Amino acid sequence: MDLLNTLVDKGLRRELPTREEALAVLATSDDDLLDVVAAAGKVRRQWFGRRVKLNYLVNLKSGLCPEDCSYCSQRLGSTTGILKYTWLKPEDASQAAAAGLAGGAKRVCLVASGRGPTDRDVDRVSKTIKAIKDENEGVEVCACLGLLSDGQAERLREAGADAYNHNLNTSEATYGEITSTHTYADRVDTVTKAHAAGLSACSGLIAGMGESDEDLVDVVYSLRELDPDSVPVNFLIPVEGTPLAKEWNLTPQRCLRILAMVRFVCPDVEVRIAGGREVHLRTMQPLALHLANSIFLGDYLTTEGQAGKADLEMIADAGFEVEGADQVTLPEHRATAGGGCGSHASAGCGSQESAGCGGHDDAGCGGHEGGGVCGTAAATPAVTEPRTDLVAVRRRGAGTDLAPNA
């Protein structure tokens, strides 16, 4: 297919595809899907080999959010029945992080619900970052706290944070349809602040909210312009009790096409499969590793994910390897550009995130709403039917007395 040959050539040269080419990837047929995956896989291997970076989410403060993001179970007035708790103590957060690090994660993503942090909140998180880094040499820490005020990114950087996540989520044209309490421009401003402070910028999207192909291409092109080091791709988890609970319009094939399009547009950045992979990719998850070079391990912010052991087995069975703490995530031309954790060797981290998180949304560090746990349904629904059996509210880990899934 001439389109795919062109896209591979451009990806290997880090050349931006045309919008028409990006849209054409999303419009390919299921018959061509393996060809699309193989083509994007060549670009992924050129810049990241067969490594898979593992990230681990710690929800520092759950629920109780004044924002009205339609996709989020922590939103204002939520009736989802999620865990709700205020700030974890630094020692408790460090203990929660240790489980993920023991499972092979090299980055810990600290997420807190809310519009954005107060200066006192930044102090809390700074103490938590210190507690985690004192116990774990070389660990990367990404903060995801919502909209930042002037000077807060610099304070987080001074406290030892390596990265900051804040997702754009969807196109500027449709942003007002999912959130009314802040703007798309607010999000761009926070990513810009993080970048300017020397933090590794992490920003991504949520697919499956009813957006068009044009919207998906728009937000990915906007992300390319912002030039984050990592781009988490979330697939909407339609959690009961949220306004988007009925938006079940993703198939495994569409998810793969979206990931391929992101890889072609952002060939040399860390592309992370974030929340929703278990629910929407399902048994096709191993194919997605040929497109993305990063995933979350274990549970998400408010919902359960695939067992950590199953994640590790999937990576090995698919012929990939877990990225080590001594390996730099980003390719050399980005790693020496001073872009942040993992993009430079002196960041105080093993390399370079989910996780893109919106902080106050539940796209935490890229971990929007979370994955799901496979149920044992009597019959397998068609791919076009809602898979509510794969969505379970998190009842373990941070904020509970039960051991986390890692």
72 is catalytic: yes
Q: Is 374 considered catalytic here?
A: no
Residue 349 known to bind ligand: no
65 labelled catalytic: yes
374 is annotated as contributing to ligand binding: no
Asked whether residue 357 is marked as a ligand-binding residue, the answer is no
Candidates 69, 144, 349, 357; catalytic one: 69
109 is in an annotated binding site: yes
The one catalytic residue in 44, 65, 257, 394 is 65
Are the C-beta atoms of residues 204 and 176 closer than 8 Å to each other? Answer: no
Q: Is 341 in the active site?
A: no
With contact defined as beta carbons under 8 Å apart, do 273 and 250 qualify? no
Residue 155, marked binder? no
Which residue is catalytic, options 44, 157, 272, 334?
272
Catalytic residue among 75, 144, 187, 202: 202
109, 341, 349, 357: the catalytic one is 109
Nearest alpha carbon to residue 76 among 66, 86, 84, 63: 66
Long-range contacts of 5-10 (CB under 8 A, 24+ apart): 5/39, 7/39, 7/40, 7/43, 7/264, 8/39, 8/42, 8/43, 10/264, 10/267
Question: Which residue among the candidates 142, 144, 349, 365 is catalytic per the annotation?
Answer: 142
Is-contact 26 257, C-beta < 8 A?
Answer: yes
- 72 annotated as belonging to a binding site for a ligand: yes
65 annotated to a ligand binding site:
yes
User: What torsion, rounded to 10 degrees, do the Cα atoms 26, 22, 223, 256 define?
Assistant: 30
Rounded to an integer, what distance in angstroms lies between the CA atom of residue 298 and that of residue 105?
Answer: 10
Supply 283's token pair.
Answer: 């048994």
**Annotated binding site for [4Fe-4S] cluster, which residues?**
65, 69, 72
**Annotated binding site, which residues?**
65, 69, 72, 109, 142, 202, 272
Catalytic annotation, residues: 65, 69, 72, 109, 142, 202, 272
**Annotated binding site for [2Fe-2S] cluster, which residues?**
109, 142, 202, 272
